[in-house]
A and B are shown apart, each in its own frame.
Chain A
Amino acid sequence: TVDTSHEDMIHDAQMDYYGTRLATCSSDRSVKIFDVRNGGQILIADLRGHEGPVWQVAWAHPMYGNILASCSYDRKVIIWREENGTWEKSHEHAGHDSSVNSVCWAPHDYGLILACGSSDGAISLLTYTGEGQWEVKKINNAHTIGCNAVSWAPAVVPGSLIDHPSGQKPNYIKRFASGGCDNLIKLWKEEEDGQWKEEQKLEAHSDWVRDVAWAPSIGLPTSTIASCSQDGRVFIWTCDDASSNTWSPKLLHKFNDVVWHVSWSITANILAVSGGDNKVHTHSPWHGGHSLLVFTPPTREGT
Chain B
Amino acid sequence: MGKKRTTSGEGRERQRLPARRFRTTSPAALRADSVDGGSLLAPLLGLTDRAFSDCPDLADGAMEKMSRVTTALGGSVLTGRTMHCHLDAPANAISVCRDAAQVVVAGRSIFKIYAIEEEQFVEKLNLRVGRKPSLNLSCADVVWHQMDENLLATAATNGVVVTWNLGRPSRNKQDQLFTEHKRTVNKVCFHPTEAHVLLSGSQDGFMKCFDLRRKDSVSTFSGEATEAGPREWAMAGCVPILPVLSCRILRLHHSFAHGPMQDAESTANDARESWGCPLYPLGLCSGPQAGQSESVRDVQFSIRDYFTFASTFENGNVQLWDIRRPDRCERMFTAHNGPVFCCDWHPEDRGWLATGGRDKMVKVWDMTTHRAKEMHCVQTIASVARVKWRPECRHHLATCSMMVDHNIYVWDVRRPFVPAAMFEEHRDVTTGIAWRHPHDPSFLLSGSKDSSLCQHLFRDASQPVERANPEGLCYGLFGDLAFAAKESLVAAESGRKPYTGDRRHPIFFKRKLDPAEPFAGLASSALSVFETEPGGGGMRWFVDTAERYALAGRPLAELCDHNAKVARELGRNQVAQTWTMLRIIYCSPGLVPTANLNHSVGKGGSCGLPLMNSFNLKDMAPGLGSETRLDRSKGDARSDTVLLDSSATLITNEDNEETEGSDVPADYLLGDVEGEEDELYLLDPEHAHPEDPECVLPQEAFPLRHEIVDTPPGPEHLQDKADSPHVSGSEADVASLAPVDSSFSLLSVSHALYDSRLPPDFFGVLVRDMLHFYAEQGDVQMAVSVLIVLGERVRKDIDEQTQEHWYTSYIDLLQRFRLWNVSNEVVKLSTSRAVSCLNQASTTLHVNCSHCKRPMSSRGWVCDRCHRCASMCAVCHHVVKGLFVWCQGCSHGGHLQHIMKWLEGSSHCPAGCGHLCEYS
Can you list, as one digit per residue, whether each of A68-81 has a CB less than 8 Å from chain B (1) or not (0)?
Answer: 00000110000000
Kindly list chain B residues whose C-beta atoms are within 8 Å of the C-beta of A276: 489, 496, 499
Question: How far does the Cβ of B677 sit from chain A's closest Cβ, in whole Å?
Answer: 23
Give complex CA distance A293, B538 in Å. Answer: 13
Contact A36 B529 (CB under 8 A): yes
Kindly list chain A residues whose C-beta atoms are within 8 Å of the C-beta of B418: 8-9, 27, 52-53, 73
Contact B496 A257 (CB under 8 A): yes
Contact for A278 among B468, B490, B500, CB less than 8 A: B490
Residue of A nearest to B771 (CB): A219
Give complex CA distance A178, B179 in Å. Answer: 62
Contact for A266 among B524, B802, B813, CB less than 8 A: B813
Contact A10 B780 (CB under 8 A): no
Give complex CA distance A53, B464 in Å. Answer: 10
Decide if B507 is an interface residue (CB 8 Å cutoff). no
Interface positions, chain B 769-792, Cβ under 8 Å from A, are: 772, 774-780, 783
Decide if A220 is an interface residue (CB 8 Å cutoff). yes
Contact A11 B523 (CB under 8 A): no
Contact B805 A217 (CB under 8 A): yes
Contact B529 A9 (CB under 8 A): no
Kindly list chain A residues whose C-beta atoms are within 8 Å of the C-beta of B779: 219, 267
Give complex CA distance A52, B801 in Å. Answer: 46
Contact A219 B780 (CB under 8 A): yes
Kindly list chain A residues whose C-beta atoms are within 8 Å of the C-beta of B487: 299-300, 303
Residue of B nearest to A218 (CB): B809
Contact B523 A9 (CB under 8 A): yes
Question: A110-118, A159-167, A186-194, A246-254: which lies at the B interface?
Answer: A159-167
Question: How far does the Cβ of A175 sit from chain B's closest Cβ, in whole Å?
Answer: 16
Contact B417 A8 (CB under 8 A): yes
Contact B472 A24 (CB under 8 A): yes
Give complex CA distance A18, B464 in Å. Answer: 34
Question: A82-90, A122-130, A279-287: which lies at the B interface?
Answer: A279-287
Known: A166-B833, A282-B535. A8 touches B474 (CB 8 A): no
Known: A274-B471, A295-B483, A298-B528. A266 touches B477 (CB 8 A): yes
Give complex CA distance A52, B721 in Å. Answer: 79
User: Interface range on chain B: under 10, 10 to 19, 20 to 34, or 35 or more?
Assistant: 35 or more
Contact for B525 among A9, A220, A280, CB less than 8 A: A9
Contact A263 B816 (CB under 8 A): no
Question: B142-150, B750-758, B834-842, B862-870: which lies at the A interface?
Answer: B834-842
Contact A12 B469 (CB under 8 A): yes
Kindly list chain A residues whose C-beta atoms are within 8 Å of the C-beta of B832: 161-162
Decide if A28 is an interface residue (CB 8 Å cutoff). yes
Kindly list chain A residues whose C-beta atoms are within 8 Å of the C-beta of B528: 1-2, 295, 297-298
Contact A298 B526 (CB under 8 A): yes
Kindly list chain B residues whose C-beta atoms are within 8 Å of the C-beta of A9: 418, 468, 470, 486, 523-525
Residue of B nearest to A25 (CB): B472
Question: How far does the Cβ of B461 sit from chain A's closest Cβ, in whole Å?
Answer: 15
Decide if B381 is an interface residue (CB 8 Å cutoff). yes
Decide if A292 is an interface residue (CB 8 Å cutoff). yes
Decide if B532 is an interface residue (CB 8 Å cutoff). yes
Give complex CA distance A9, B775 in Å. Answer: 39
Give complex CA distance A300, B487 in Å. Answer: 7
Known: A51-B381, A53-B468, A263-B474. A10 touches B525 (CB 8 A): yes
Decide if A270 is an interface residue (CB 8 Å cutoff). yes
Contact A207 B501 (CB under 8 A): yes
Contact A1 B499 (CB under 8 A): no
Decide if A245 is an interface residue (CB 8 Å cutoff). no
Contact for B473 among A220, A230, A257, A260, CB less than 8 A: A260
Decide if B475 is an interface residue (CB 8 Å cutoff). yes
Contact A166 B524 (CB under 8 A): no
Decide if B476 is an interface residue (CB 8 Å cutoff). yes
Can you list, as one digit per residue, whether each of B484-527 has a CB less than 8 Å from chain A (1) or not (0)?
Answer: 11111111000010011100000000000000000001011111
Decide if A60 is an interface residue (CB 8 Å cutoff). no
Decide if A264 is an interface residue (CB 8 Å cutoff). yes
Decide if A137 is an interface residue (CB 8 Å cutoff). no
Decide if A269 is an interface residue (CB 8 Å cutoff). yes
Contact A286 B472 (CB under 8 A): no
Contact A267 B778 (CB under 8 A): yes
Contact A280 B417 (CB under 8 A): no
Kindly list chain B residues whose C-beta atoms are within 8 Å of the C-beta of A299: 487, 490-491, 526
Interface positions, chain B 804-842, Cβ under 8 Å from A, are: 804-806, 809-810, 812-813, 816-818, 832-834, 837, 840-841
Contact B837 A166 (CB under 8 A): yes
Among B381, B472, B496, B832, max chain A CB count under 10 A is at: B472
Contact A99 B816 (CB under 8 A): no
Contact B526 A266 (CB under 8 A): no
Contact A52 B473 (CB under 8 A): no
Contact for A272 among B473, B488, B818, CB less than 8 A: B473
Decide if A172 is an interface residue (CB 8 Å cutoff). no
Decide if B457 is an interface residue (CB 8 Å cutoff). no
Among B481, B527, B532, B776, max chain A CB count under 10 A is at: B527
Decide if B539 is an interface residue (CB 8 Å cutoff). yes
Among B379, B477, B481, B528, max chain A CB count under 10 A is at: B481
Contact B464 A270 (CB under 8 A): no
Contact for B475 among A119, A263, A286, CB less than 8 A: A263
Decide if B415 is an interface residue (CB 8 Å cutoff). yes
Question: How far does the Cβ of B847 sit from chain A's closest Cβ, in whole Å?
Answer: 16
Decide if A227 is an interface residue (CB 8 Å cutoff). no
Kindly list chain B residues whose C-beta atoms are within 8 Å of the C-beta of A132: none
Decide if B895 is an interface residue (CB 8 Å cutoff). no
Q: Which 6 A-B pairs have the closest CB atoms?
A: A19-B477, A269-B778, A267-B778, A219-B775, A161-B834, A10-B525
> Could you pull out 16 A-B pairs where Cβ atoms are within 8 angstroms?
A1-B529, A2-B529, A3-B527, A17-B816, A19-B477, A19-B816, A22-B482, A24-B472, A27-B415, A28-B417, A161-B804, A218-B775, A218-B809, A219-B783, A276-B499, A278-B490
Interfacial residues, chain A to chain B (CB-CB below 8 A):
1-4, 6-15, 17-19, 22, 24-29, 36, 51-53, 55-56, 73-74, 99, 101, 119, 156, 159-162, 164, 166-167, 207, 210, 216-221, 230-231, 257-258, 260-270, 272-278, 280, 282, 286-287, 292-293, 295, 297-300, 303
Q: Kindly list 19 other residue pairs between chains A and B, CB separation below 8 angstroms, not including A269-B777, A270-B537, A287-B664.
A: A1-B529, A8-B417, A8-B523, A8-B524, A26-B525, A27-B523, A29-B379, A160-B804, A161-B801, A164-B834, A210-B469, A217-B809, A219-B774, A219-B776, A267-B778, A270-B532, A273-B473, A276-B489, A299-B491
